Structure 1
Amino acid sequence: MYRFVFSWRWVRLHVLIWLVLIPAFIGLGMWQRGRYHERKAENAVIRTAMDAAPVPIEGVDAVGAPVVRTSRWKQVTLAGVYDPGHQFLARNHQVNGNPGFWIITPLTLSDGTSVLVNRGWIPTDSADQQQSPAIPAPPAGRVALTGRLQQSETKGNTGIRDVTSGLPAGQISLVNTDSLAAKTGLTLRGGYTEVITSQPADAARITPIDKPSLDEGPYLSYWFQWWLFCLIAIGGWVTIIRREAQHRVREAAEAAEDDELDELDESDEPAEPTTKPAAQPADANAPDPDPDRANANAPDPATATAPATAPAP
């Protein structure tokens, strides 16, 4: 009943299901699984960092050294003087769907080194979203900050290409320490710091950077969805084969029933007669078709006698 599954048409279906769709669904599910575990690990790092007490930036962020992954999101303290002559606007950042910029201003520490500080977000102030808005002046004099330490931005950890030319003056695409150190000539520590609190406070027009989201994202549901698609593909494959087999059995039964009806119809037809009908009696008045026989039966004129006459009185 299932021999048809070995035909070339059905072999192509098997290849599509088992060598294309199912491996693809499993691979996509594994990729979403990896993304889910990456997000969980990242959230664990964030929770640990944000639950810890702030530490001086000198102990976790050295000059010319990258910020390690486990130090990202650590709360740090730093004090110094802002350097507005070397500040930049990091483009293409939104808050609640509104376009704007990050204000990146170096803070010069007491040892002469500088730290890039993300003071917060400001919106665009014209119809041209790429035009630089007016930057609020930073607090003058010595400033004490508490912030979150971040890694220097690269294409590898952001997916964004670092555009270094063709931008309006004072704009940057990534907060990249090496690139900005080359532009400013400052001795920059690795990474940058997002402001949590500032003494004295910064301009009211600046929106502080929100805390990081600890949402695990859609990866877990996508993981199971792709593997569910795998089970659906297998179930569909089995269902198609079973329905085809049932269809073939039904067709065979109908064909057998038609043959039986044809045989019954042939047996019900009347049989042809095998004997000749009896001869009909000849009509006495009809002329005999055989002239010799007719002459044989006629009276002889020589022997015929005249009719008898009555006796004389």
Structure 2
Amino acid sequence: MYRFLFSSKWAGYFAVAVVFAVACVALGNWQMNRNNDTMANIAKITANYSAAPVPYQQLQANFNHLDPAKEWTAVAMTGTYMTADQRVVRNRPLNGAAGYEVIVPLRLENGDTVIIDRGWLPIGNKEPGHPDVVPQPHAGTVTVVARLRPPEPKLNRGAPAGQIASIELNDYAAQLSYPIKTGAYGQLASESPAASVNPTPFPAPSIDPGSHLSYALQWICFGVLAFVGFGYAARTQRRNDEYDALEAAETGVPVEEVYGRGSAFHPRPSRKVRKPGARPTAEEEEDAILDAQGF
């Protein structure tokens, strides 16, 4: 009944279905891995972002090499801003608006120097490529709470004097006359005493899981549908073969000589075939009379 499945043509159809299904499963796994990474990041943000600040001494090593599990952890530090060495970071969008960020070295009481990102500034109107005003922090000793962030990759593009293309800490360190910690920087959460004017603070990071899970399920469904489609095509081919057998039995002429053989993908138009010995229908009797009269 389904012997045609062993033909080279149908073996080819099956191979195409298998390749398509494998590709769908691979894409589904890729989306599932992205979903797992997103959920792990959400769990990390949820655990670290709103937790109580940790003293610098307990997390000092993370400013040399950041433990990914410690990202977004709030660190409490006391020191003095080195405002003469602050930099403006270019091309920093916030809520769909282009702008800048301000980073400043913070010299701690123990002699270490870490980089603090104090916030966001909008594009200026006075001079192209520069913010109108860069708010200055408090000039004396300050207590800063900042959240740990990893340094950024180096961008192969220049920047005007006093600006940098990205928060790539090794390049920043090369511009300074003293060493800084290059394994992580702090994104400002609060400082005391606060400056009279501050850059725009950063919003909380997104914890939206996105659509990766639904995409993964869709790809898996597509892979299953490849075999459903193959089964439907095989069933259609079998019905075409049965149609051919009935036509041959009724007329005594191979149907291929009259119509050509139907296929699963180009099935023959459906019509009822009268079995041998069955009573003719009214339509068939009418057709026979018209044929006899030469019509």
* TM-score normalised by length of structure 1: 0.72
Q: How many residues were matched structurally?
A: 255
Q: Structure 1 CA distance, aligned partners of 2:68 and 2:62?
A: 16
Shift of 1:165: 4.7
Asked if the contact 2:137–2:194 (Cα under 8 Å) also holds between the matched residues in 1, the reply is no
Identity value in percent? 33
Match of 2:131 in 1: 133
Q: Structure 2 CA distance, aligned partners of 1:64 and 1:55?
A: 13
Shift of 1:147: 1.7
Which structure 2 residues correspond to residues 1-313 of structure 1 after superposition, within 5 A? 1-18=1-18, 20-62=19-61, 65-126=64-125, 131-134=129-132, 135-154=134-153, 162-163=154-155, 165-189=157-181, 190-202=183-195, 204=197, 206-259=199-252
Q: 1:125 to 1:9 in 2, by over 3 A?
A: farther
AA partner of residue 14 (structure 2): H
Q: Structure 1 CA distance, aligned partners of 2:156 and 2:174?
A: 11
Deviations 1:225-249 (A, max 9, x none): 1111111112112112212222232
Q: Structure 2 CA distance, aligned partners of 1:29 and 1:179?
A: 40
Deviations 1:184-230 (A, max 9, x none): 23322231111111223346462111112222222221221111111
AA partner of residue 131 (structure 1): G
AA partner of residue 17 (structure 2): I
Q: In structure 1, the residue corresponding to 2:89 is in which secondary structure?
A: strand
Q: 1:186 to 1:229 in 2, by over 3 A?
A: farther
Higher Cα Rg, which structure = 1
Instruction: Answer with 62-71 or 141-150: which moved more.
Output: 62-71
Q: Structure 2 CA distance, aligned partners of 1:203 and 1:239?
A: 73
Q: 1:12 to 1:114 in 2, by over 3 A?
A: same
Asked if the contact 2:62–2:184 (Cα under 8 Å) also holds between the matched residues in 1, the reply is no
CA RMSD of aligned residues (A): 2.8
Shift of 1:126: 4.7
Q: In structure 2, the residue corresponding to 1:60 is in which secondary structure?
A: helix
Q: 1:210 to 1:64 in 2, by over 3 A?
A: closer
Asked if the contact 1:119–1:208 (Cα under 8 Å) also holds between the matched residues in 2, the reply is yes
Q: Structure 1 CA distance, aligned partners of 2:160 and 2:57?
A: 33
Instruction: Answer with 180-189 or 72-81: which moved more.
Output: 180-189
Q: Structure 1 CA distance, aligned partners of 2:168 and 2:158?
A: 17
Q: Structure 1 CA distance, aligned partners of 2:95 and 2:245?
A: 66
Q: Structure 2 CA distance, aligned partners of 1:163 and 1:114?
A: 24
Runs of at least 5 residues in structure 2 that lack an aligned partner in the other structure: 254-273, 278-287, 289-295
Q: Structure 2 CA distance, aligned partners of 1:244 and 1:168?
A: 71
AA partner of residue 85 (structure 1): A
Q: Structure 1 CA distance, aligned partners of 2:206 and 2:136?
A: 29
Runs of at least 5 residues in structure 1 that lack an aligned partner in the other structure: 155-161, 269-313
* TM-score normalised by length of structure 2: 0.77
Q: 1:140 to 1:3 in 2, by over 3 A?
A: same
Q: In structure 2, the residue corresponding to 1:184 is in which secondary structure?
A: coil
Q: In structure 2, the residue corresponding to 1:61 is in which secondary structure?
A: helix
Q: In structure 2, the residue corresponding to 1:94 is in which secondary structure?
A: coil
Asked if the contact 1:163–1:172 (Cα under 8 Å) also holds between the matched residues in 2, the reply is no
Match of 2:281 in 1: none
Shift of 1:117: 0.6
Q: Structure 2 CA distance, aligned partners of 1:233 and 1:97?
A: 41
